[in-house]
Structure 1
Amino acid sequence: MPILGKLVYTNSAPVSQTQRTPMSLLNDLRSTPRLGLLIGATAAAVGVIYGYDLSNIAGALLFLTKEFHLSTSDQEMVTTAVVVGEVLGALVGGWLSNRIGRKASMVAVAASYAAFALLSAFAPGIPVLMIARLFLGLTIGISVVVVPVFVAESSPAKVRGAMLVAYQVATVIGIILGYIASWALSSTGEWRWMLGLAALPAAAVLAILLKLPDTPRWYVMKGRFEEARRTLATIEPDSDIDAEIEGMRAALAEESGGRKSGAAKEMLRKPFLRATIFVVGLGFFIQITGINAVVYYSPRIFEAMGFSGNEALLLLPALVQAASLVAVFVSLALVDKVGRRPILLGGIGMMVVANALLIGVFLVGQSFGGALTVLGFLGVLLFTVGFTFGFGALVWVYAGESFPARLRSLGASTMLTSDLIANVVVSAFFLTMLQRLGGAGTFAVFGALAVAAFFFVRRLAPETKGRNLEDIRIFWENGGRWEPREVPAVRSEVPASGRDTA
């Protein structure tokens, strides 16, 4: 990173493209200072909260529906309340993290989540439960904006991708824990315990967060340079601290151009308009392709395939998520080795194949059983594994890497707001789609959207592997290329003497 002046791209290899081996990720993690790993791991642990909330409502709905005699639309409303809150949280998350800091925002998230999880558990009826879930969603929406920024700005380039993917690892672990807790309590029907247990991981994360510093880049944005130096010295002790600080200052000064930091209008004009189109589209495709329909309503999908009983309807989703956990570990190991684009495109490709399989299963399956039911389960498994390997892992990477420092929180907020708006649509109408279109029609819609997502990503997604955060803006400045476009030289040909030029 340059010390002064304009950041200039050179043709030298990016930071992490030197001779990497299968053991390189482990070696990089071992060489990363303890504080850097602690910050990344703690921030990623917030994903457990998010994941638990995604799945525990699936189990709780089985008993809420019976106790309160909920219709299909009522179930969709209870599920969607948290997603509406997430949209609101994502809208303010970028502003909040710039205003009070990445760390302070995450502390507020953990404390608030614990409080509203307990309110959900003690709700006397559906109206109070929906209010509690709306505020739960608000805290989650803030967290999905702040966590990628917090991790990206606190991690060395050589392990940044892995630390961002770790958030998805934690999210999947949270989903599995939610299903297991629901299964363990299914014999009692205690939906209040299912919802209230979410306060425990939130309290644990809160205790650790209070001891951590904020990110160096946020300190620089606020002019708190000594705190930035101290934090950098503990996170990257081998780096040139003064050069890093000066590089951040130069980048912020050049990018701001005298304008208010984080101004939304910068994202709507060149060079960052292309980046904005990319993050809005990526965020939308991540959810509109249907993953949270599978997470929220897995028991209903498996019920449509002929499975029955609480154990089957809650353990099968847990098995699916266990497989996706393996997939995200593979993604984590490869993201800084083979790059972001191959992983993302490979995962979407698996989702397309899974949708085709599920369409066939539902078209053939007049009465499920035997091999047909097994194929249906494998279709859901492949769909979830493909999502987690690609979209699920890379959303946090691109949320943290797509914009330069001063626009990073706003960019992440924009991306994840788009993501959550699509989530509202899916969670609000999936059960209705399943009833009216059937399984084949529903997964045909998701399949078509997955194909569109594949070509969108192939066209616009940057390969950010190993790039310094402050250099990623060069990709957008060059019109979606790392190398500047070559302008052909104008040739001036003078006819040879005596030669006919007609």
Structure 2
Amino acid sequence: MSSSAVATSRSIANVSQVTALINTLSKLPRKANLLWYLVLGGLFLDAYSNAALGAGLSPMTKELTLSPTQVGVLTATAPAIAILFNPAGGWLAARIGRVKPLIAAKAIAALGAVLTATAGSFEAVWFGRGLVGIAYGIDFAVAMALLAEYTPAKLRGRLNLWQSVWYVATTVNLALTLLFYNLGVSVEIWRWSVGSAGVFAIALLVLQVVFLAESPSWLATKGRLPEAAKSLRRIYGFEVTPGTAADEDVPAQERKIGFRQAGVLFRKPYLPRTFLSTAISLTQSMQYFAVGWYLPVISLAIFGQQFQTATLGSMIFNVAGIVGGALSAYFGRKIGLRVSSAIGYAFAFAILLMMGLGFGKLPIAIGFLLPFLFIFFHSAGPGANGKSIAALSYRSDIRTLGTGVTGMLGSFGSVIGLYVFPQIKEAMGLGPTIALLAVVPFLGLVSCLLVRWDPTRSGVDPDDEEIAIKFAGSAA
């Protein structure tokens, strides 16, 4: 047993006691750490699957003779379907647990990758990408919630590591695509890129089936205390026994959670938290996808028109995201998620103004440095924080509803970034469009200044907060 685990046996009678026990840890035991990164691996797969199509979009368009409209539909399919399956995945996880939806998402992702890689028509590719969108929507809502429930309070900043993993996955996909290119794969390179996502999905499916353990917090909210005790022992090495809760001491352990209960996210004390996590998720998504859409163009302009040099250029830009995403966990721990988001927005606002107003006039070195810095401050600040704040702001029985609903609302930002801003660009030109885009991080900054909530600085676990609210109501 890990030295960090509790050696003496104790009793657990409710979810508050479960989370309090986990929060006694200053670091995760080896087994818990393995499971933590295994869940994070699902987010790697989500990012990899999203990048897989983009890396081979041009050769796929040539091979299947796709029209611009069809290309746009394929690009939109996965994120659009994810909008619907974010809350669906959250609802499902609130009803049947965290692990089953995560495993189902890997199976769906593998099937979608195989269908896309072997497709011979637009319709087949579209269907495969639809399955990828379903998997992405389910997995992201559930994985962030499970990571929050696995993580002690002192380590909550590490949830932001998902942002670094996102850029690592994109870079790995670019590197493999470059490898396939050098091996002589030509027009069918997109099939190799998408097919490799299926290999990752199957490997992760097997590992999660074998190793993942259900969230003890969720089990406790369902009154399944013997299973919660078993899960605590399996994950952390805690020796605990299930207790019996007196009705007057704790909230009801079994709650029926459905879409009707999502209304609690928009009432006190959760309304400000829902507003902040949604605002950050929406604005960071808008600014990233709008600017990210033009990064390949910038890369081609700087590194040349050849596939190899342009791909290497895109990988260099992703380095900024990897470093920034890794540092976001540090910043989240040191200054909090809200403040680090505000600082990131402030830099993004200034950089976008300089990029837009100086477009076509700046030296090549500055033209490269500005988007590199934008990606860094985006990933180090708001890029990760919307989803992390949502995962940490709600009590266990509604946590996946919170991550699902705010994820759905935030996903509209990707649609706006990918499709509304290109339309503005056609009417105004790229420089003015980028300058106009600076209003997005400005609005994100204002949101962070208006709402003072920060789950890493509140000092109260949401499950403990539920107990306090009940006691206050009883006293009144």
Which residue of structure 2 lines up, in the alignment, with residue 456 of structure 1? 447
- The Cα offsets for residues 13-59 of structure 1, whole Å up to 9 and x where unpaired, read as xx79xxxxxxxxxx944xx2122212211111112112212322222
Match of 1:314 among 311, 314, 335: 311
Measure how far apart 1:378 and its partner are: 1.5
For residues 229-265 of structure 1, give each alpha carbon's deviation from its aligned partner in whole angstroms, at most 9, with x where no partner exists. 122234445697768x969996653996x99797122
**Is 1:173 matched with 2:171?**
no
Alignment check: 8 A CA contact 1:156 1:236 kept? no
- Structure 1 segment 292-441 matched on structure 2, within 5 A: 292-303=289-300, 307-364=304-361, 372-441=363-432
Separation in 2 of the partners of 1:282 and 1:246?
A: 38
Once the 2 structures are TM-superposed, how far is the Cα of residue 459 of structure 1 from its aligned partner?
1.5
Partners of 1:422 and 1:472 in 2: how far apart? 33
Deviation (angstroms), 1:461: 4.7
Aligned to 1:193: 192
- In structure 1, stretches of 5+ residues that fail to align are 8-14, 17-26, 366-371, 478-502
- Inter-CA distance 5–60: structure 2 relative to 1 (3 Å threshold): closer
Q: Name the CA shift for 1:259/1:374 in 2 (closer, same or farther; >3 Å).
A: closer
Shift of 1:146: 0.3
CA spacing shift, 1:459–1:384, aligned 2, 3 Å: same
Q: Is the 8 A contact 1:48 1:201 kept in 2?
A: no
Query: What is the rounded CA distance, in whole Å, between the counterparts of 1:87 and 1:396 in structure 2?
Result: 14
User: Contact 2:281/2:387 (CA < 8 Å) preserved in 1?
Assistant: no
Residue pair 1:348, 1:387 contacting (<8 A) in 2 also: yes
**Would you say 1:132 and 2:131 are equivalent positions?**
no
Distance of 1:259 and 1:413 partners within structure 2:
13
Query: Greater CA deviation, 184-193 or 76-85?
Result: 184-193
Is the counterpart of residue 227 in structure 1 residue 227 in structure 2? yes
Q: Match of 1:213?
A: 213
2: CA distance, partners of 1:402 / 1:470: 6
Structure of larger gyration radius: 1
Instruction: For residue 114 of structure 1, give the secondary structure of its aligned residue in structure 2.
Output: helix
Superposed, which structure 2 residues align to 1:72-151 within 5 Å?
72-151=68-147
How many residues are treated as equivalent by the alignment? Answer: 448
Q: Which amino acid aligns with 1:374?
A: A
Structure 2 partner of 1:267 = 265
**AA paired with 1:206?**
L
| Alignment partners' CA distance in 2, 1:99 and 1:64 | 40
TM-score (norm: length of structure 2): 0.84
For 2:418 and 2:464, locate their aligned partners in 1 and report how far apart those are by CA, in whole Å: 34
Query: Residue 473 of structure 2 aligns with which residue?
Result: none
Query: Which secondary structure does the structure 1 equivalent of 2:438 belong to?
Result: helix
TM normalised by structure 1 equals 0.80
276, 279, 282: which one pairs with 1:281?
279
**1:445 Cα shift?**
2.6
Rate the CA distance shift 1:240–1:214 in 2: closer, same or farther, 3 A: closer
Query: d(CA) in 2 for partners of 1:112 and 1:359?
Result: 41
Rounded Cα–Cα distance in structure 1 between residues aligned with 2:61 and 2:169: 23
Contact 1:176 1:318 in 2 (8 A): yes
Matched to 1:264, the amino acid is A
Answer whether contact 2:349 2:441 (CA < 8 A) is retained: yes
How many Å apart are 1:144 and its aligned residue? 0.9
SS of residue paired to 1:364: coil
Q: Gaps spanning 5+ residues in structure 2: where?
A: 1-10, 17-22, 470-476
Counterpart-to-counterpart distance in 2, 1:472 and 1:437: 52
**1:280 Cα shift?**
2.7
- Cα distance change, pair 381–389 in 1 and its aligned pair in 2 (3 A): same
Q: Structure 2 vs 1, CA of residues 312 and 349 (structure 1 numbering), >3 Å: closer, same or farther? A: farther
Cα gap change, 1:239/1:424 in structure 2, threshold over 3 Å: closer, same or farther?
Answer: farther
State the alpha-carbon separation in 2 of the partners of residues 180 and 439 from structure 1.
29
Would the alpha carbon gap of residues 119 and 250 (structure 1) be closer, same or farther in structure 2, given more than 3 Å must change?
Answer: farther
Cα distance in 2, alignment partners of residues 397 and 218 from structure 1: 18
Amino acid at match of 2:267: R
Give the C-alpha shift of residue 444 in structure 1: 1.7
The separation in 2 between residues aligned to 1:131 and 1:50, in whole angstroms, is 17
> Which residue of the partner structure matches residue 368 of structure 1?
none
| Structure 2 counterpart of 1:499 | none
SS in structure 1 opposite 2:252? helix
Q: Determine if contact 2:303/2:310 at 8 Å carries over to the other structure.
A: no
Structure 1 stretch displaced more, 94-103 or 269-278: 269-278
Is contact 2:339-2:448 (8 Å) kept?
Answer: no
Give the direction of change, closer, same or farther, for the CA distance of 1:325–1:247 in structure 2 (3 Å limit): farther
**Does structure 2 conserve the Cα–Cα contact (< 8 Å) formed by 1:5 and 1:250?**
no
Deviation at 1:303, TM superposition (A): 3.9
String of CA shifts for 1:460-491, please: whole Å, max 9, x gaps. Answer: 152222645335858x98xxxxxxxxxxxxxx
Cα distance, 1:175 vs structure 2: 1.1
Q: For 1:277 and 1:226, how far apart are their aligned partners in 2?
A: 36
- Could you say what the CA RMSD is over the residues aligned between the two structures, in angstroms? 3.3
Question: What is the CA-CA distance between 1:439 and the residue it aligns to?
Answer: 1.9
- Higher mean alpha-carbon deviation, 303-312 vs 74-83, is at 303-312
Q: Judge conservation of contact 1:219–1:228 (CA < 8 Å) in 2.
A: yes
Find the aligned partners of 1:249 and 1:418 in 2 and give their Cα distance: 37
Question: Are the counterparts in 1 of residues 15 and 463 from structure 2 also a CA contact under 8 Å?
Answer: no
Distance apart, 1:128 and its partner CA: 1.4
Q: Which amino acid aligns with 1:173?
A: V
